[in-house]
Structure 1
């Protein structure tokens, strides 16, 4: 398998499978603390700084509409709040609340356990795996623009 079309197909299939595996793992980590993988994804996007819905969507590879729906739901549950955005009057920032941060922190022990198991499986190859996936993503960004 060295033809570009074969490599593209193999890359896509591997990425689709990996995405499914990550979503399954995320659901398993989030469910016991009352979250879904998608809720955790949005909470994680604003863990360190507030972002507009469109920014969360871009960073997380989600649709703007999907993020808006989840952010509204998380706001109703008190896990995030909207605040004014000095850069854009209409695009409010989504900010994590203490309740949202606590929910994410409840996932941390199981997250660390899964990370340790994966580190034991991959060993020193893990950074190269991450670099390869990031490189493939960056290349796809270039050819799709």
Structure 2
């Protein structure tokens, strides 16, 4: 093993291995969340609540761009969350027609419960992973995401 950058041909092969792992991981995590749905928070609503928890109030188009999801899908998830009292629309001082969506207290409590449970499960991941391992994983996945960030969704 070397710390030298891989030539493009080898890099492509190794990153393809990562894609082959990320797909099943993503689908299994989605399935786990769906099976363990808590407080009526499915995968899509959970993504909305988590974005708002991390970023504060956002517009639906901002959330769609941030997660590479269609505005229509995000709007459906926001509507579902609003019906459950987890989010609310408030005036947007920067744009009269594009409301800001923010967490309600119930929404904050729901996403904190979900993330605490997820953190408990993630804390059980074995393999003796180190901070350097996780940092390297985040770096690789961030680089891969950045390489396709120009792909339009909608």
TM-score by length of 2: 0.77
Aligned to 1:70: 77
Alignment deviations for residues 75-133 of structure 1 (CA, whole Å, 9 cap, x no partner): 12111000111111111111100011111122243222112112x33511222112111
Aligned counterparts of 1:9 and 1:110: Cα–Cα separation in 2 = 31
Q: Does residue 38 of the first structure (1) align with residue 44 of the second (2)?
A: yes
Aligned counterparts of 2:94 and 2:106: Cα–Cα separation in 1 = 26
Q: 1:55 aligns with which of 53, 59, 62?
A: 62
Stretches of structure 2 that go unaligned for 5 or more consecutive residues are 1-8
Aligned counterparts of 2:15 and 2:53: Cα–Cα separation in 1 = 34
How far apart are residue 10 of structure 1 and its match?
Answer: 4.2
Aligned counterparts of 1:102 and 1:108: Cα–Cα separation in 2 = 10
Larger relative contact order (Cα-Cα within 8 Å, sequence gap ≥ 6): 2
How far apart are residue 20 of structure 1 and its match?
Answer: 1.2
- Give matches, 1:63-142, under 5 Å: 63-118=70-125, 120-121=126-127, 123-124=129-130, 125-141=133-149
How far apart are residue 61 of structure 1 and its match?
Answer: 2.4
TM-score by length of 1: 0.82
Aligned counterparts of 1:6 and 1:135: Cα–Cα separation in 2 = 15
Aligned counterparts of 2:45 and 2:149: Cα–Cα separation in 1 = 26
Stretches of structure 1 that go unaligned for 5 or more consecutive residues are none
Aligned counterparts of 1:11 and 1:121: Cα–Cα separation in 2 = 17
Q: RMSD of aligned C-alpha atoms? A: 2.4
Q: Does residue 19 of the first structure (1) align with residue 26 of the second (2)?
A: yes
